[in-house]
A and B are shown apart, each in its own frame.
Chain A
Amino acid sequence: MKLANRYNRVNILTSIVVFAITGLIYYVVIHFILTEKLDRDLVVEENEIRQYVSTYHKLPLPASYLDQKIAYKNLSGHVPEREFLYTRYYNPKERENEPGRSLITVVHLNGKAVEVTITKSRVESEDLVRIILLITIGITLILLLSLLLINRFVLNRLWRPFYAILNGMKSFEVARMDAIAHEDTRIDEFNELNQSVNAMAERVRRDYKELKSFTDNASHEMMTPLAVINSKLDSLLQTESFTAQQGELLADVYHATGRLSRLHQSLLLLAKIENNLIPDFQEIDLKEMVEVKGRQFQELFEKDGLSLTADLQVVEIKMSRYLADILLNNLFSNAVRHNITGGYIRVELSSVALIMANSGKPGNIQSKIFDRFSKSADSEGMGLGLAITKQICNLYGFRISYQAENGEHVFKVHFAG
């Protein structure tokens, strides 16, 4: 829920409740005051009747004045209490029943009790109350409406710089050098936010640049001694005065330097894919590439007596040829490396997915199979191949999955994510 909406909801709900309560209080109080006034008028009338009775010893005429009616009734026996009550009142002029307020009182005339009912029309006070109520409701509605309008137009405009900054942050890329776009605003908070965001972006960029140049330099500096070791080993080998034992030691050193440089290259490659620094994006005939790769691996298949079956359809896909090559390399190497002697490899390619299945030792499933440096204990690899494969898939929105069943290991690359 957006802040403005949330604020709106609270605001409007509170306003409605407050207006309802005030309206109610208003209504009750005014009603009360008007009734009080009517009652006072009724008492004045009563006093006049009493004075008339005590002066003239007779009842005044039960005349109907404007909006007022007096009625007499001789009482016998029971004498009622003096009381105010709401009644209906027939207005002869308007010829209709109107709400009224009556005072029933008892006057003693010549030793006889006479019940006097004075009734006044409540129409005016009712009207007044109604008008007041209508005005209150009207004002409430107008206020609510203006609140809504303010929220809708003013708040939206007020928040625009915020959303501009937010969009800028969303599209922020550490590798690009442009500042985060913002709208000029007179609102201090947004200006401050904008400054902070840009300062943060600047810091992140600086750190990133430092880290990147460090990685570049480290890679360069590491490659150079590695190149020296390699070349010195090659030179050493030419001197040819080694015993078989020394030869074995040399082989081990070769082995280790080879691994080190491959490891280094793999890590650099991973970093490059992560930062999307591989530019050559093109249409690729994947079927042809798989076939070529199969031929390239021929010797490795033969060595372990593996058989390759392929069911390939023509699939064109858009990606870097270089990365496609690495992807296939890794899948094939993996299938060879984790196979059993005399086993099989099955490749299926359709427009939906590339499936790579191979026989292997059952039960060495690892949930972290795509993590860096995760590998089975007997693996000769570095544990980076599948991490790179996964990274390549991520880059192009492919989804890679792994399943192992009955000694068959299956990797599936779904092209449509």
Chain B
Amino acid sequence: MKILVIEDEPALLESILAYFTGEGNICEHASDFALASEKIAVYSYDCILLDLGLPGGEGLELLTKLKQLKKRDGVLIISARHSLDDKLAGLDLGADDYLVKPFHLSELKARVSAIVRRKNFDGDNIIHFNEMAVDVSAMKVTVKGNLVILTKKEFDLLVYFLSNRNKVVTKNAMAEHLWGDEMDLSDDFDFIYTHVKNLRKKLLEAGAADYLRSVYGIGYKFGDI
């Protein structure tokens, strides 16, 4: 997928680019308003990551610009402003999602993947991974054609892993993804383990390879062995 990252903080930009690059993804970036509006006007992207506080202009104006250009690029707002007004204004102006800083890169990736899947939704919204096929809209998982019955949480977890293939995903990020970051969770994420264990067991039983690995006790990695 083709992604434009509009972010003025170089360190953050670099991390995002590093996380997204690879697996056939093309990442471009813009760190000020002028460059961003130029790129938006000239090229089309699958998803645009938009920081609201930009040097040279207000990020929300870029959304208006996109609308005027009648572009259908997906937009994910990433902002340090944890304000309901900004969120509603952004979504009103046609943004697809809103993520508050600080965020986990895995969460960012999952959200971007979801947006891109929705945008490129042409008949089937299916993620293929080796012998696995995950139908996101029907919430169905098949391994080598065998249907695997997963709970809602296990399914979400699998989609999350698939969006972050070959990346280490922390338990913290997983918990926030599944239960929302508003939930004042304890810092002990052992209960995640149960879900991961069950998901892995079900996939293995259906004949999938063991793609899940625990990493340093911090998190998990799902990907090619």
Contacts and interface: CB of A to CB of B under 8 A. Distances in A.
A231 B191 contact: no
Contacts of A237: 168, 170, 215, 218-219
A158 interface: no
B11 A254 contact: no
A414 B173 CA distance: 36
A177 B146 CA distance: 65
A254 B173 CA distance: 10
A299 interface: yes
B185 interface: yes
Contacts of A235: 15, 18-19, 105
Interface stretch (A32-40, A221-229, A403-411): A221-229
Interface in A223-272: 223-224, 226-232, 234-235, 237-238, 240, 242, 244, 246-248, 250-251, 254-255, 257-259, 261-262, 265, 268-269
Contacts of A368: none
Contacts of B43: none
Contacts of B184: 262, 329-330, 333, 381, 385
Contacts, number: 127
Interface residues of B, number: 43
A224 B80 contact: yes
A244 B215 CA distance: 9
A250 B84 contact: no
A219 B102 CA distance: 11
Given A258-B172, A380-B186, A234 B80 contact: no
Interface string A165-197: 000000000000000000000000000000000
Interface of B: 9, 11-12, 15-16, 18-19, 53, 80-82, 84-85, 101-106, 153, 167-168, 170, 172-173, 179, 181-188, 190-191, 194-195, 215-219
Given A228-B11, A231-B102, A237-B219, 9 more contacts: A228-B9, A228-B15, A232-B15, A234-B15, A235-B19, A237-B170, A248-B216, A255-B187, A336-B186
CB-based closest 5 A-B pairs: A247-B216, A231-B15, A223-B80, A227-B102, A227-B101
23 contacts: A220-B80, A226-B101, A227-B101, A228-B11, A228-B15, A229-B102, A234-B104, A235-B15, A235-B105, A238-B168, A247-B218, A248-B216, A259-B187, A268-B82, A300-B185, A300-B186, A302-B194, A303-B190, A303-B191, A333-B186, A336-B186, A337-B186, A385-B184
